[in-house]
Amino acid sequence: MNMDMKKIMFLLLVVFMASSNCLDLCAQKKDVTGCVVDMDGKPVKGARIGVVNTKIIEKTDKKGEFSLKNVLPTDSVVIYLKGNRGARFLLGDVTQLLLKVKSDALVIDNGKGSTNSVSVETLVFKRYGSGSVITAQMIERNGYLTIKEAIKACIPGVNFEYTNGEDKIVIRGSKSLNLSTDPLVILDGAETTFSAADQGCHVNDVQMIEVIKDGLGYGAKGANGVIVIKTKK
């Protein structure tokens, strides 16, 4: 067998393996129906149910019912409740779900005679005026590896650029007339750069990150927005 034929055979093998994996994933996809109720068993209307890392998001109807189409057993599902609270859980090998919302927990009945519960917590970010806050609990729960990763995942309207060997951050919605777009970064009360904070502070040591878009309380330095990072004491 000459070299060209070997290359062709190798490419055919790669295509076959990729096709097989695709078919396996397609075979695992399924539709899941469910119902969300409160502690008294009454339907919860208007709760949003989303699948992580997909565009799938549905809202419960007046009966508390919802349907998720073409999902995988390995998908993570998030239920968004009032007050920016919610819970996240692994879908697993189910086609029906009964979700019972308690004050601090979500009880999941998989329709197969077993139940488990997950905590109901504040999701993604909390808003204070024009600012957004990322807490230590959110960092731990989502497994963020850096401050940059946490901000990218949690705060809308923030862009990152890599310039001259440093990460530059731009906060949309800031009210700057300056040529510079760098926000004011404060780490434990001291002014620094975002790159220095991200590289010098381990994300697991962070107690809170607050991103303030208008920065009015910080004078001219806050015109491009403010990032306040507080570490655990």
Q: What is the CATH number of the domain that holds 108?
A: 2.60.40.1120
Rounded mean pLDDT of 58-75?
91
According to the model, what pLDDT value does residue 137 have?
84
Q: Which two tokens stand for residue 146?
A: 């850096």
According to the model, what pLDDT value does residue 139 have?
86
Query: Could you tell me if 122 and 108 are in contact, meaning their C-beta atoms sit under 8 angstroms apart?
Result: no
Q: Which domain holds residue 40?
A: 30-122
56 within a domain of the structure (yes/no)? yes
Residues 136 and 226 placed together within one structural domain of the fold: yes
187 within a domain of the structure (yes/no)? yes
Residue among 152, 155, 119, 116 at smallest CA distance from 137:
119
Instruction: In whole angstroms, give the CA distance from residue 135 to residue 125.
Output: 8
Query: Beta partners for 71?
Result: 30
Residues 136 and 204 placed together within one structural domain of the fold: yes
Which residue, of 122, 145, 178, is where some domain finishes?
Answer: 122
Summarised one tens digit per residue, pLDDT across range 86-131 is 788 888 888 899 999 988 889 999 877 778 888 887 654 443 334 5
Q: How many residues does the chain have?
A: 233
2 within a domain of the structure (yes/no)? no
Can you list the alpha helix ranges (DSSP code H) found in the chain? 3-28, 136-142, 147-154, 194-200
Q: What rounded mean pLDDT belongs to the chain?
A: 78
According to the model, what pLDDT value does residue 126 have?
40
Residues 211 and 226 placed together within one structural domain of the fold: yes
